[in-house]
């Protein structure tokens, strides 16, 4: 298990991850960068609103990456099937 303590808007949080493939520090850095983006583009906005906007942007990033992964998987399956069919046609 990995754990990290971090300061987020003056509050100390402890994040733990059981998944060895998850770099907890990278997760925290990513979220903090998204909040900084909101701080830069929305000066004077209340911190809770900046966090909500950052989370919406993270959600958008997730949806885009999920769709890209789905498309990649479909492409790999399609190309693999074509390759297997060509190999089968030569072998038979």
List the pLDDT tens digit at each of the 92 positions of the chain. Answer: 788 888 888 899 998 888 888 888 899 999 999 999 999 999 999 999 999 999 999 999 999 999 999 999 999 999 999 999 999 999 97
Instruction: Say whether pTM exceeds 0.85.
Output: no
Q: Are 2 and 27 in contact (CB under 8 A)?
A: no
DSSP string, 58-76: HHHHHHHHHHHHHHHHHHH
Q: How many CB atoms lie within 10 A of CB 43?
A: 8
Q: Are 38 and 45 in contact (CB under 8 A)?
A: yes
Residue 55: what pLDDT?
A: 96
Residue 20: what pLDDT?
A: 82
């Amino acid at each position: 298990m990995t754990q990290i303590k971090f300061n987020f808007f003056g509050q100390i949080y402890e994040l733990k991850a059981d998944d060895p493939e998850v770099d907890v520090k990278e997760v925290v850095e990513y979220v903090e960068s998204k909040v900084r983006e909101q701080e830069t583009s929305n000066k004077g906005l209340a911190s809770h609103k900046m966090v909500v906007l950052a989370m919406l942007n993270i959600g958008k990033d997730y949806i885009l990456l999920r769709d890209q992964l789905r498309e990649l998987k479909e492409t790999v399956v399609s190309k693999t099937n074509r390759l297997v069919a060509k190999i089968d046609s030569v072998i038979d």
